[in-house]
Structure formats: structure tokens, C-alpha cells
Amino acid sequence: MSVISLLLKQKELKRLNELSELEHKDKSAVARELMEYGWEFLMLNLYREGKLSLGSLATKLELSMSETIDLLSKFGIESPIDYDDYLSGFEVFSKRR
């Protein structure tokens, strides 16, 4: 693991401390979680704006395609796969067994 120094505004430090106390975690763990949530949020926005494909989104989030589609659903972002595509994929899967 690497070390990085940041200059935080008072408001940012207050939020970090507050979340640290609320979650009963040290500030470093909370900061890492916030960075991960921020990355996820930014990647989802890029996908929503059409700047990332579903495959690229899955790769950047280090998720499988189905996990990525579930995440999109969780945040109310429409799945790029319609019902006919789903059925086609299911047929392909069934034939490989």
C-alpha cells in the first residue's frame, strides 16, 4: 500500500471525522471507502452520458457484466440489454451445457 499526503479543507476534515466516528473506523479506512464510492459514482456517470460502454464500465469497476448490470439497476440506470437480448444470451448459455 502506498502513502499519499492531502491538504484538506476544514469542511472536508470535519466530514471525514464525522463519518469515521459514525462508522467506527479510522480516518484512513473511511477516506479509502470514499475514494472507491467516488470512483464508482464517476464511472456510472460516464456510462450514463454514453462515454463508457457496458464492458468498459465493468472493467473499470472490476465487476462481471451481470454484477455491473445489477449495479446499474440499483441506481436506476436502465440496463442496456432488452428482454430479447436476455433470451438470446440464455439460449447460447443453454446450448453450451
Q: Report pLDDT for 1.
A: 84
pLDDT band of residue 87 (cuts 50, 70, 90) is low
Domain boundaries, the chain: 13-96
Q: Report pLDDT for 97.
A: 59
Read off the pLDDT of residues 4-47 as tens digits, 9 standing for 90 and up. 898 999 999 999 999 999 999 999 999 999 999 999 999 999 99
Residue 69 has pLDDT above 80, yes or no: yes
Q: CB pairs under 8 A, 24+ apart, for 66-73?
A: 71/40, 71/44, 72/44, 72/47
Please choose, from the candidates 79, 24, 84, the residue with its C-alpha nearest in 3D space to the C-alpha of residue 68. 79
Global confidence as pTM: 0.74
